[in-house]
Amino acid sequence: MMRVSFGKFAKGGAARMALATALATGLVAGGATLGATAAIAKEKEAAKGGAFSKEFIAVAGPLQKVLGDAAAAKAKGTSDADIKTQLAGAPAQLAAAEAAIKNPTDRMTAGQFAVNLGGMLGDIGMRERGIKNMLDSGLVPADKVSEYQFYLGNFAYTQKDWPVAVDALTKVVQANYSEDTAAELLADAYVQQGKPAEGLQALKLAVDTRKAAGGTVPADWFKRANLIAYKAKLGPQAIEWSTMMVENDPSPINWLGAGQLTREFGTFTNQESLDLGRLMMRSGAFQSDPKYLEREYVEYIEAADPRRLPGEVLKVAEAGVAAGVLRANDQFVADAISQAKGRIAADKASLPGLERDARAGADGKGALATADAYLSYGDAAKAEDLYKLAIQKGNIDKDRALTRLGIAQCDEGKYEEAKATFAQITGAVRAPLAKLWTVYATTKAAK
């Protein structure tokens, strides 16, 4: 279960008293004497909830005195243990007061008593009950309702009272309350009930609500969502949230995480892994901590293959060595570099002839292969032209061609054109990858 510190409303001593003071709000003054007299009852008639009922005054008056005496003793330095002894009969008095509730004013005051007593006794369930009565009274000021709902949700969460926690915290999230932990607690309340998908929906509601209000979405919401999705093996949601995370904060580590989760839950072949490696290289993911990157460099080199794209393999392998991620004397790395170096000259020399054949070809297969070669050598303009030709001629993997056309356009700085290209990719395998590339294009365009 997520361990969350609830700050002043989950700790003792002065913090409890601070909460009690905050909860008073002046609606029904906690310090007023509840005597069973007509004068007192009349004094309360002006309150929004009406006068205290006679039945409530009869049982609540003695309880208020007990609470007042305990608060005075606490102020004089009496120990918590002695305070609890002094309050031994108070829970029964509170129960009697709650049973005597006849109107909103009674309910609001009973709730205040429960919050105060629960604070002194360390009884979170009692505080939860108190906050609920205060909210149910209808006397909490409108500008304080979300705050009280947050208290209620926290108390209910701590008590594992999941239905109450979900109800209260959903209202808090819908109101875009400033306490960011509300969304995470709501999501976890669903997870604790075996409903991770609903937890992710709750976090999505929080994100959408915060964005609609023009606010900043906390990074922790994305981290929590990614953790929930990953643990529950919810592949589509994991990909969606990792993409949202990097869109919110395109840092190297977020790019790395988004790429890894997209591959983890995708059905990638070497072709998709190659384009993911290209994205990681360009986005800055390879600037993350080297201890996370060896697998990524190796997968990129394997996907590119020195027999097919020697120039790109050499560039990646040498970058990995320079970054201290790969070792030049490692057999895999040494073989890749050796093979790549031995093929580059002949490979480059063959490109003009391959291009002529591609333009004369009956379909787009030759154009696609030649475009791949030009892209691997960094000739984005030539690659763009040939990818367009391949798509026009057809009989190819169109999503693969579109992905790489978009990459070439990104390399040329044509970010809006690239986004339009990526938007055409609809296949289940490449669509998530295309969304990541779209985020990259958007980020680059913004700079």
Domain ranges of the chain: 1-140, 141-232
Q: In this predicted structure, which of 42-51, 86-95, 204-213, 398-407 has the lowest mean pLDDT?
A: 42-51
* Nearest CA-CA partner of 267 in 296, 299, 235: 235
8 A C-beta contact, residue 94 and residue 117: yes
Count of H helices and E strands in the chain?
23, 0
pLDDT band for position 48 (cuts 50, 70, 90): low
The predicted pLDDT at position 17 comes to 31
Give the model's pLDDT for residue 126: 97
> In this structure, what token pair is assigned to residue 395?
């009989």
Using CB atoms within 10 A of its CB, is residue 99 exposed (0-12), middle (13-18) or buried (19+)? exposed
What's the alpha-carbon Rg for the chain, to the nearest Å?
32
Percent pLDDT > 70 in the chain is 89
Range 289-313 average pLDDT: 97
Task: Give the global pTM.
Answer: 0.81
The separation between CA 168 and the C-alpha centre of its own chain, rounded to angstroms, equals 19
Q: Residue 293: what pLDDT?
A: 97
Question: What average pLDDT is seen over the chain?
Answer: 90
* 32 has pLDDT over 50: no
pLDDT 10s digits, 78-115: 999 999 999 999 999 999 999 999 999 999 999 999 99
The C-alpha atoms of residue 255 and residue 316 are separated, in whole angstroms, by 18
Assign domain 141-232 to a CATH class.
Answer: mainly alpha
Please answer whether residues 72 and 127 qualify as being in contact, where contact means their C-beta atoms are separated by less than 8 angstroms. Answer: no
pLDDT tens-digit map of 166-179 = 999 999 999 999 99
